[in-house]
Amino acid sequence: MSKYPFHDIERKWQARWEREQTFAVSEDPSVPKAKRKYVLDMFPYPSGAGLHVGHPEGYTATDIYCRYLRMTGHQVLHPMGFDSFGLPAENYAIKTGTHPKITTEQNINKFREQIKRLGFSYDWNREISTHSSDYYKWTQWIFLQLYKKGLAYVAEIPVWYCEALGTVLANEEVIQSPEGPRSEIGGHPVVRKPLRQWMLKITEYAERLLSGLDDLDWPESIKAMQRNWIGKSEGANVRFPLADNPETGIEIYTTRPDTLFGATYMVLAPEHPLVQEITTPEQKKEIDGYIQRAALKSDLERTELSKEKTGAFTGAYAINPVNEARIPIWISDYILISYGTGAIMAVPAHDERDFEFAQRFNLEIIKVVADPQDPDAALVEAFTDTGISVNSGQFSGKPTETAKEEIIQWLEQEKIGSRAVNYKLRDWIFSRQRYWGEPIPLVIGEDGDIQPVAEENLPLTLPEVQSYKPAGTGESPLATVTDWVQTMMPDGSGRPGKRETNTMPQWAGSCWYYLRYLDPNNQDVFAARDKIDYWMPVDLYVGGAEHAVLHLLYARFWHKVLFDIGVVNTDEPFMRLVNQGMITSYAFQRGDGTLVPTDEVSETSPDQWIETATGKPVERVIAKMSKSLKNVINPDEIIEQYGADSMRLYEMFMGPLRQSKPWSTQGLIGIHRFLDRIWRLSERPVTHEPSPAELQKVLHKTIKKVGEDTANLDFNTAISQMMIFINEAFKTESLHRDAWEPFVLVLAPYAPHLAEELWERLGHTESLAYHPFPEYQEELTKDDQVTLVLQVNGKVRSKVEIAAGTPKEELEPLALAHERVQEYTTGKTVVKVITVPDKLVNVVVR
């Protein structure tokens, strides 16, 4: 018997699929909409490290699903491309002097080669890369539509700036360390500083982004994260006049207008524009020092509930409009300029953070909401529940909801406030001060006039630059390319202008890539409308949960804008979302919790390891794959040693798709042996004699289970069922064609190279990729005998084999007569008997 020759088989079929364009797809109006499926993977960023075994997990899942869909009569769009603009390539260019385009395209070639080695059924004719000018021409076009709709504007705002990287970073790209905030990439220091930024008004779409979640088949955890990020609340806007200048007021937003009478001080964010204006000369030094210290903290650190409250008094006072009380104005870093108005009325009696702040700085605390169960209770901590208004003038004695409504009406009547809905969501900071990104197609005149580049002149391409290093002025490296920056205003007036030198963030290209796949070579529009109508929306989108908020929120925002201008057919892009779990690997942990690279550890005995440098024991733990921990598994090595089908099958067999699970080479070897067993079985003589009845039953159970589990993305249990079939098939001396041929088709989505080879050996000349998935006979999936569990008071006392389908009225006397049941029921009263046919009988006694 020959050994499973996976190298030869996999190379052969990958070459044939490419030669015959097996998975290329085009629009066919005769195919009904219900039979068209668009299945999308989150496309990768092509880093220099190449793929690790975690990347193909989601790709394998969608590939199995797509192959199954084709075999069940569906037309499938399944594309792949590369998210190829971004900071890592630019950093590499700065270090090495190599153009980021060169390294990016080298990385893309490496990724493409690795992906193709796994035999995924992508339509490679549709490949896109976000750094290609043919692609980013349309990213720029979409930006111009946003600009024309008034959704793009320029503002000077406080942002995280990294001097070493020379660019602005999003909050999510900043990590907190003992030394202060650092960039996620490179670990460089970052500071808060005001910079001129392009912004996108995603806040105008907050309500639609929120309500649109209701109709999506997404994990509830992802929806909850988006809802929390958008952060809708209802309350009131209220104006607090300055005591010394009533013409100037501080606008605040509150969800608890019923607590206005308890506002005893105000707090502004350190970055609030009024701070410098209202601070008294006596307080200026303290305020300036506090502002500098606050600039070194991340938003997460500033809003951490358990941290000690800090602040500084401005020396100014405001007037509480509901009771004319004069209240001090402080600044504190627990207030963010990016949330609400950047100012709050502080009600220490009914807010935990305000309570701690008031105690720390000896500020007045006035109770204005009482607990109905104990209205006279003294405040030892903030009372944050609803209750009855007290010390609140005409609103005293009213329950919270009534007081809220009546106070809002009174505020509007007195013209000192108004009903308001607020969102935590902030406008999207869209500028990046770097080279390797899409140029923003705008020109700024000497008078500050901003004009868009004419659409017919897109793409505005990146110029060649001598240096990729930041300009050192807070501007992008493009600012140094004078002959590119200096231009004429697009209106034809002949006036000189300067090109915008900031570039777009990496998110821009990934906001709409799923649309370009539909029509990747179109030079006239980003995608023809008939192709959009044919394929959209995406039926299944698979990727990591780390993109739960930003990418998905930004893509939904852009899609809604495109829907509003009439160029796409749906309000939402992705109907179903599935997050695959992470594939983890082993690492080693010191006693203090820090991790040690695997090559710095020695094994002293099974399950005993020491850190080589110190000789101290370390514990083996599960951790995320990381180059620094030296625990990354290279798929090239796995494929070379065990084959692509083994890797595909193992990654699906490790556990449920949505759960994280640790890589185990032993488990991979077991799967490889399973495929080798299939190969050895295939070398038995083929017979046209009917297969044994038991093998037929196992076959039809397998067809049913694999089909249902594949449709539900439950791949691990489908593979288990195939193993059951192979165990049964090994009991026969010959290969029964009536059972073997259907099994090969069932195997095909999972191990496509091996299945194609087995199919050809059975005499077929066409690929099985579009051959109908076998159908099962329901009667053959049912067992003749089933195991009936016998319980007394819910505890298992025995099990018996019975004929499947035995009626309920026969099961109860059978159970009561059983000797093990009688041991526990004799001398007791039978209260009731619970019977589940074919499963269990539970006798309840007392």
- With beta carbons less than 8 A apart as the criterion, state whether 514 and 552 touch: no
Confidence of residue 695 (pLDDT cuts 50, 70, 90): very high
pLDDT band for position 3 (cuts 50, 70, 90): confident
Give me the mean pLDDT over the 180-184 stretch: 84
CA 669 to chain centre: 32
DSSP codes of every residue in 718-758? HHHHHHHHHHHHTTSSSEEHHHHHHHHHHHTTTSHHHHHHH
Query: Is 311 in contact with 224 (CB distance < 8 Å)?
Result: no
pLDDT at 603: 84
Mean pLDDT of 431-439: 92
Pick the more confident residue, 345 or 337.
Answer: 345
pLDDT at position 27 is 96
Tokens 């290609």 -> residue: 132
Give the DSSP H/E element, type plus range, for residue 595: strand 595-596
User: Residue 163's closest CA among 180, 146, 188?
Assistant: 188
| Multiple choice CATH, 783-845, 3.10.20.590, 3.90.1300.10, 3.40.50.1970, 3.40.1130.10 | 3.10.20.590
Q: What is the pLDDT of residues 136-166, one digit of tens each?
A: 999 999 999 999 999 999 998 878 888 888 7
Q: Is the bond preceding 537 in cis, omega lying within 30 degrees of 0?
A: yes
Q: What is the amino acid identity at position 466?
A: Q
Architecture of domain 232-423: Alpha-Beta Complex (3.90)
Give span(s): CATH 3.90.740.10, the chain. 232-423
As a whole number of angstroms, the distance between CA 759 and CA 585 comes to 36
Of 168, 159, 148, 106, give the one whose Cα is nearest residue 131.
Answer: 106
Instruction: Give the other-Cβ count within 10 Å of 341's Cβ.
Output: 16
Enumerate the CATH 3.40.50.620 domain ranges in the chain, comma separated. 25-133+507-579
- The model's pLDDT over 69-126, given as tens digits with 9 standing for 90+, comes to 999 999 999 999 999 998 888 888 888 888 999 999 999 999 999 999 999 999 999 9
Strands 577-579 and 540-543: parallel
More confident residue, 604 or 754: 754
Distance of CA 495 to the CA centre of its chain: 46
The number of beta carbons lying within 10 Å of the beta carbon of residue 415 is 9
The two structure tokens encoding residue 729: 């098939």
> Do residues 245 and 318 lie in contact, with contact meaning Cβ atoms separated by under 8 Å?
no
Residue pLDDT, tens place only, 245-259: 999 999 999 999 999
Question: Mean pLDDT throughout 654-681?
Answer: 93
Looking at residue 476, its pLDDT comes to 85
> pLDDT digit string (tens) for 612-624?
888 889 898 888 8
Confidence at residue 234, expressed as pLDDT on a 0 to 100 scale:
94
Asked whether the CA dihedral 59, 63, 69, 73 is positive or negative, the reply is positive
Give the pLDDT of residue 171. 67
- pLDDT tier for residue 306 given thresholds of 50, 70 and 90: low
d(CA 473, CA 156): 15
Summarize the confidence of residues 20-45 as an average pLDDT: 96
Residue 666's pLDDT band (boundaries 50, 70, 90)? confident
Q: How confident is the model at residue 202 (pLDDT cuts 50, 70, 90)?
A: very high
**Share of residues in the chain with pLDDT > 90 (%):** 71
| CATH 1.10.730.10 domain residues, the chain | 633-779
Using the predicted structure, report yes or no on whether residue 523 has a pLDDT greater than 80.
Answer: yes
Q: Known binder of ligand: residue 627?
A: yes
> Which DSSP state fits 443?
E
The predicted pLDDT at position 597 comes to 87
Q: By the 8 A CB rule, do 692 and 732 touch? A: yes
Other CB atoms within 10 Å distance of the CB of residue 823 = 11
Per-residue pLDDT at 295 = 81
pLDDT for res 591: 86
Residue 772, CA distances (Å) to 60, 63, 749 in order = 21, 17, 12
Any idea what DSSP says for residue 762?
Answer: T
Please state the separation of Cα 169 from the chain's center in Å.
Answer: 19
At 174, the pLDDT band (50, 70, 90 cuts) reads confident
Shortest CA distance to 747 belongs to which of 649, 818, 608, 629? 649
Reported as a pLDDT band with limits 50, 70 and 90, residue 1 is low
- Among 381-385, 564-568, 601-605, 778-782, which stretch is predicted with the lowest mean pLDDT? 601-605
Q: Which residue is it, tokens 């798709």?
A: 657
DSSP state of 91: H
Residue 832: its pLDDT value, please? Answer: 92
Q: What is the pTM (predicted TM-score) of this model? A: 0.86
Fold category of 25-133+507-579 in CATH: Rossmann fold (3.40.50)
CB-count burial class (<10 Å; 0-12, 13-18, 19+) for 544: middle
Of 785, 776, 691, give the one whose Cα is nearest residue 738: 691
The model's pLDDT over 42-60, given as tens digits with 9 standing for 90+, comes to: 999 998 878 878 889 999 9
Going by pLDDT thresholds of 50, 70 and 90, the confidence category of residue 25 is very high
Name the residue with tokens 């108004």: 418
Tokens 């079939």 — which residue?
A: 725
CATH code matching the domain that covers 633-779, chosen among 1.10.730.10, 3.40.50.360, 1.20.1440.230, 1.10.357.10: 1.10.730.10
As a whole number of angstroms, the longest Cα–Cα distance in the chain is: 107
Q: What is the pLDDT of residue 172?
A: 62
User: What pLDDT, on a 0 to 100 scale, did the predictor assign at position 743?
Assistant: 98
What is the distance, to the nearest Å, from the Cα of residue 774 to the centroid of all Cα atoms in its chain?
A: 36
What proportion of the chain, given as a percentage, has pLDDT over 70?
98
The rounded distance, in Å, linking the Cα atoms of 586 and 591 is 16
Confidence of residue 186 (pLDDT cuts 50, 70, 90): confident
Q: What is the mean pLDDT of residues 342-348?
A: 95
The per-residue pLDDT for 471 is 64
Torsions phi, psi for 355 (to 5 deg): -60, -50
